[in-house]
Amino acid sequence: TALRLLSNCYLEQNRWQEAIDTLGSILEGYAASGFLTAKDVDMTIKTINIMAAYQLRDYNVAISLYEGIIGRNPKLPLSLYLQKVIDAFNQLKAQGVEPADLNKQ
């Protein structure tokens, strides 16, 4: 709960990278613990993806975070899903799809 509150504070302050790092810590530390529901995990991953793609405009931020989690926890059940997210971002990069800028919408 404290880490979620901290990430929300970072989001409110537009401190995107710190919010992403905190959300990554939540995923890595608690996704397999039973403290997070599947919905919580899904929302956390979506929030990271949105911040990386729309605020930082850099797919590699999310890719690096997920690769680090997988590298440190290869047997984490979430690793297969994170790899699919990485593959999707890499596919976007290969197709030349640039991250969007929320400020232009």
pLDDT tens, position by position, 60-93? 999 999 999 999 999 988 999 999 999 999 999 9
Tell me how far CA of residue 47 lies from CA of 18, 84, 103, in angstroms.
Answer: 13, 16, 17
The per-residue pLDDT for 104 is 55
Angle at 42 between CA 50 and CA 75, to 5 degrees: 110
Residue that has been written with the tokens 């608690």 in this structure: 30
The per-residue pLDDT for 71 is 96
Residue 35 has pLDDT above 80, yes or no: yes
The per-residue pLDDT for 96 is 87
Task: Tell me the three state secondary structure of residue 34.
Answer: coil
The per-residue pLDDT for 46 is 96
pTM for the predicted model, two decimal places: 0.90
Residue 26 has pLDDT above 90, yes or no: yes
Mean pLDDT of the chain: 92
